Amino acid sequence: MEQSEEKVPENQERGILLMDNWPGYDLDLFTYPQHYYGDLECVLIPHGIIVDRIERLAKDIMKDIGYHDILVLCVLKGGYKFCADLVEHLKNISRNSDRFVSMKVDFIRLKSYKNDQSMGEMQIIGGEDLSTLAGKDVVGTGRTMRALLSSIEKYKPNMVKVASLLVKRTARSDSFRPDYAGFEIPDVFVVGYALDYNEYFRDLNHICVINEHGKEKYRI
């Protein structure tokens, strides 16, 4: 076996692994908005599992943070559900322990995707007091996260940790790895749980795979 530096168990680093042959769940076994009937391939991750996994991420984060105060920086718009659920779990853990962690929340907005493609330029809007923890929806190519981190550096934070709900296994990836990952997923375009395709599907609870019909219907 190869020698390695500090070893973090692989499943902790990558989160729950959804393999390329993972077929997802049949949509007809769940409820979802009627206006999206015919636009989706499958349920990749049901809402309940998303929330359960985030509960564990919150526990891992609290364990690492110790007694430091934290600023949760939510990356809008796609990260708002993840951030809200993460903050809820962090609050619960803090409330039910004798550790007092003071928590602030700020929001930043990044935009780089048109249809299902990552666009060249990155816009960063908002966020004034940037110091500790960043919460993010998907790491696709990793470009967005690198751009954000270099702009956070300017504020000389004590510590920056990145939590991402999803990490895609993509050939275009620049191998950015968040400190906390919810799920590692195949290179498919997913929607729901605040993730959008041209602003649609944010109002879907589960993380689903969009189909060709859906892409065509909402293409710009």
Binding site residues, ligand IMP, CB under 6 A = 78, 112-113, 118, 137-145, 189-191, 195
CB of 165 to Mg ion, least distance (A): 13
Contact with Mg ion (CB under 5 A) among 17, 107, 196, 200: 196
106 scored as a contact of Mg ion (CB under 5 A): no
Residues ≥6 apart with Cβ < 8 Å to 74: 80, 83, 105, 106, 107, 108, 135
Options 3-11, 107-115, 149-157, 159-167: segment touching Mg ion (CB under 5 A): 107-115
Position with the least CB separation from Mg ion: 196
**168 cis-preceded (ω within 30 degrees of 0):** no
> Closest CB to ligand IMP among 65 and 74?
74
Contact 136, 86 (CB under 8 A): no
Residue/partner pairs of 109-113 with CB below 8 Å, 24 or more apart: 109/75, 109/76, 109/77, 110/75, 110/76, 110/144, 110/147, 110/148, 112/143, 112/144
CB of 79 to Mg ion, least distance (A): 10
> Closest CB to ligand IMP among 31 and 117?
117
How far apart, in whole angstroms, are the C-alpha atoms of residue 195 and residue 95? 30
Binding-site partner at residue 142 among Mg ion, ligand IMP, none, CB < 5 to 8 Å by type: ligand IMP
CB of 98 to Mg ion, least distance (A): 40
Angle between helices 80-95 and 47-65 (to 10 degrees): 50
Residues ≥6 apart with Cβ < 8 Å to 84: none
CB of 196 to Mg ion, least distance (A): 5
Binding-site partner at residue 137 among ligand IMP, Mg ion, none, CB < 5 to 8 Å by type: ligand IMP
> Closest CB to ligand IMP among 128 and 199?
199
Instruction: Summarize as ranges the residues that interact with Mg ion (CB under 5 A).
Output: 113, 196
